Chain A
């Protein structure tokens, strides 16, 4: 489909930049959940389109790797298609839409429904890496809060939800504790995906291009969502099932189908939905 572009280094970034990012990645996996600053480079698309994730992918990817890119679970949305094509052209790597066939998966705001295996790497695009940002805007303070493990303010924020709504209303970018030490933003994934991060066999890397931070969760690392004894962490559930594949266990998107208020619910993970449909057609 797309030819390999000439005139660029493998995977676009120059080797010096890759080494700098690689050193930051090694520090990030050694201190799970800690945000390592790095010298973010300009990428040929705007901040907010996944430049952090792309810089991590460019530094990690090799010729033998197969890449999958998803945006809100879908392989066929603009952001996912553009980034997949970018690496197909600048690195000449194989790409796939199948979760199980991918070595690297760059994601914006979802974790695939198909469980990931050891050896795979999940690379998140992160807009706001600092979980405490909307509580404390000053970096000088949040850095101290992380150093002192001073996370009471986040419990207060969640408690304000309970006081106002009767339950924890935070539904995405739901804060987690990594290995009982660092509070971490899981990026704006729905809290439905939070339990998948806990002791995941795959390596999870996070890249924030705008704020120039990298952080990581090694395989089999404990990741717990914040909660209270009397208001335990809960994920979203739906009364509906997927209109295409009838899945009841996947994260569903609500799609408006006309002006009269008709709507349907479909899997957000397009690969998972397609696999289920193929399976049903094979065994009717």
Chain B
């Protein structure tokens, strides 16, 4: 529960303007699903968290946002120490109570355990930030929906088929659902609940 000062890494050099730039990249990513963004305003993340996921956390989290960490990330004292020190976010044990859930592609939670909001308040859902090994516009998923003129191709590495099946199944519950932000080392992309995902059968 405590913060170990020897584990602390740097936050933004300029909290105001760097935070704004990361947010603008996120706004573009969330409003145009599948469009790759590379804000890259920070050099390193704490422990096993990559720099890209770390800048997203710095831009969005604060004392008002309970955060849930997947088992592997929670075991990393550097991550929880830095989240406490820089963001002051309360860390919760149940993803149901989290505004944000942070995980690694190898360690994704059961989506049905996250908070999908309610029909009346779909905005109360958990936003899932997933650290992944690779993101590209190679054809694998075909995305359609708001923010996409015709369709967009997206390939995200390292995700389990169970997770992808759960994500696609959750589309049935719109407007309830989970908005995902995927972060590789240098690229971020968002797939909000309004985006339809079709898996290209030709691809692997």
Name A's B-contacting residues (CB within 8 A): 9-10, 15-16, 18-20, 22-32, 34, 36-37, 59-63, 143-144, 146-148, 179, 181-182, 199, 201, 203, 216-222
Q: In the complex, which residues of chain B have a beta carbon less than 8 angstroms from the beta carbon of A26?
A: 26-27, 30, 60, 127, 179
A-B pairs with lowest CB-CB distance, top 4: A30-B192, A218-B147, A147-B119, A221-B146
Q: In the complex, which residues of chain A have a beta carbon less than 8 angstroms from the beta carbon of B175?
A: 31, 34, 181-182
In the complex, A203→B16 CA distance in Å? 23
Q: In the complex, which residues of chain A have a beta carbon less than 8 angstroms from the beta carbon of B24?
A: 60, 62
Contact across chains for A220 and B146 when beta carbons are under 8 A apart: yes
What are 29 A-B contacts defined by CB distance under 8 Å? A10-B16, A15-B15, A18-B19, A18-B20, A19-B60, A22-B59, A23-B60, A23-B99, A25-B27, A26-B127, A27-B123, A27-B125, A29-B27, A30-B192, A31-B122, A31-B175, A34-B122, A34-B123, A60-B23, A60-B24, A60-B27, A62-B17, A144-B120, A146-B120, A148-B119, A203-B28, A217-B146, A218-B31, A218-B147
Q: In the complex, which residues of chain B have a beta carbon less than 8 angstroms from the beta carbon of A15?
A: 15-16, 19
13 new A-B contacts at CB < 8 Å, known A59-B23, A220-B146 = A10-B20, A19-B19, A19-B59, A19-B60, A24-B123, A26-B60, A27-B179, A30-B193, A31-B192, A182-B175, A216-B31, A218-B146, A218-B147
Q: In the complex, which residues of chain A have a beta carbon less than 8 angstroms from the beta carbon of B26?
A: 22, 26
Contact across chains for B174 and A181 when beta carbons are under 8 A apart: yes
Contact across chains for B147 and A219 when beta carbons are under 8 A apart: yes
Q: Mark B24-65, 1 if CB is under 8 A from A, else 0.
A: 101110111000000000000000000000000001101011
Contact across chains for A9 and B16 when beta carbons are under 8 A apart: yes
The verdict on A31 contacting B194 (CB below 8 Å), with A22-B60, A62-B17 known, is yes
- For residue B55, give the distance in angstroms from its CB to the closest CB of chain A: 13
The verdict on A32 contacting B194 (CB below 8 Å), with A144-B120, A218-B31, A218-B147 known, is yes
Q: In the complex, which residues of chain A have a beta carbon less than 8 angstroms from the beta carbon of B28?
A: 203
Contact across chains for A32 and B119 when beta carbons are under 8 A apart: no
State whether the Cβ of B148 lies closer than 8 Å to any Cβ in chain A.
yes
> Out of B30, B31, B119, B194, which one reaches A179, CB within 8 Å?
B194
State whether the Cβ of B106 lies closer than 8 Å to any Cβ in chain A.
no
The residue on B at minimum CB distance from A37 is B123
Q: In the complex, which residues of chain A have a beta carbon less than 8 angstroms from the beta carbon of B201?
A: none
The residue on A at minimum CB distance from B193 is A30
In the complex, A19→B60 CA distance in Å? 6
Contact across chains for B20 and A36 when beta carbons are under 8 A apart: no
Contact across chains for B120 and A147 when beta carbons are under 8 A apart: yes
State whether the Cβ of B21 lies closer than 8 Å to any Cβ in chain A.
yes
State whether the Cβ of B149 lies closer than 8 Å to any Cβ in chain A.
yes
- For residue A29, give the distance in angstroms from its CB to the closest CB of chain B: 4
The residue on B at minimum CB distance from A21 is B23
Contact across chains for B146 and A179 when beta carbons are under 8 A apart: yes
